[in-house]
Copies of this chain bind each other. A is one copy, B any other.
């Protein structure tokens, strides 16, 4: 096994490899071109019986792994949502792995718990969340939202489902829209509500929830003897970055005593800029909130920041104290009781490193720059004869489609845009992703990479032009 000296030697070499990798990352195509099974076929069928040297292992790592990665830190990664990292964050993760502690309880590492409390309080203030709200780091927004759903489920049944199951609660309802992230329905299914108890409220022409439709539906459901349990309002949907009208929704939830969870998983990082905190109007009437620092706040995955107004229902929902987990102090935070998993990584450390190394002003500037980059693309699209903006652009996300002068059916337009997208991705310089909204296939551009520069945007503009020409030629459409 690796000696301490070898650990130093290979540790240094791997730090340098990471620096080199990130420097030369544009030599790789953004999205892996590996064929299915290509890696598996090259690896042995069994673990080696005798240990191998780190020299051999590191050589194999370099030989096999990067080729099959989709390079999320490549500046041309503009697909899905980013998971942007930073040097400070990687160092925080390294030290967390090095000390190898478990942040399940206060006793199992007081400084991990107290650092988490501290950085979550820093983020609460910096993000314009109300005084008194408490935060906890979860792995993903899926987990954060499930935490909210379970807490709401228990609160609205006076903790009866935890105790006795759904026997008397078959009519609990969850409200969201068709544009809400799929993890909400997945969470509601896991929590036992059933997909047909997830009510998709109609949206307006910006794909945002219609508050009037929400209230009408709640009233109808109440009259039908059903029980509204939780509303999920999204600030920045995954498809088109639509913003549900939080204030109106919050007022309704407050009126009917319904838990309001706010999913700002992606867009929440922008609220560190005061000029975008207006999206949070009404948050004081909400109950819980999530944003992922691992998406757009330079903190490598995973780091989902979940906040609650009142942590008592949360803890009541998840707390349990078996005999083998003794506590030495009563008045300290036990994060194991703030969600589903018992074991917890020391994720506060990387967040502390990022918040201090960037400073709030550094994060503000970096995020503002990303939004300005999206504006560069937006100006190009707006002045272009055939590229069209689809859905209102917000922050650093743009949804676009190419609509040539000739008349095409929806299906033909979808095919054309799908071919354009593939053409762009095949350049290896950019990785964009598409989605389908109102049966129309659209191309999404997200300007959120840590190492993105203005030059990349100019290259992207040329690539968009070229890909559209090439796809039209391929499909024999006059561009």
Contacts and interface: CB of A to CB of B under 8 A. Distances in A.
Given A53-B357, A54-B357, A69-B101, 14 more contacts: A1-B88, A4-B19, A7-B19, A22-B98, A31-B107, A36-B110, A38-B110, A39-B118, A51-B362, A140-B342, A142-B340, A167-B170, A182-B322, A239-B324
Contacts of A39: 110-111, 114-115, 118
A144 to B, nearest CB: 10
B109 A435 contact: no
B165 A68 contact: no
Bin chain A's interface residue count. 35 or more
B343 A302 contact: yes
A415 to B, nearest CB: 14
A405 interface: no
Nearest to A41: B114
Contact of A15 (B8, B19, B150, B190): B8
A98 B14 contact: yes
Max count, chain B CB within 10 A of own CB: residue among A19, A98, A320, A323: A98
A183 B336 CA distance: 11
Interface in A351-381: 352-353, 355-362
Max count, chain B CB within 10 A of own CB: residue among A3, A69, A112: A69
A67 B1 CA distance: 29
18 contacts: A32-B111, A40-B118, A47-B360, A49-B359, A54-B88, A57-B357, A65-B99, A68-B110, A69-B112, A71-B101, A94-B94, A162-B189, A164-B194, A166-B166, A181-B322, A186-B340, A192-B193, A301-B345
A192 B51 contact: no
A90 interface: yes
Contacts of A326: 433-435
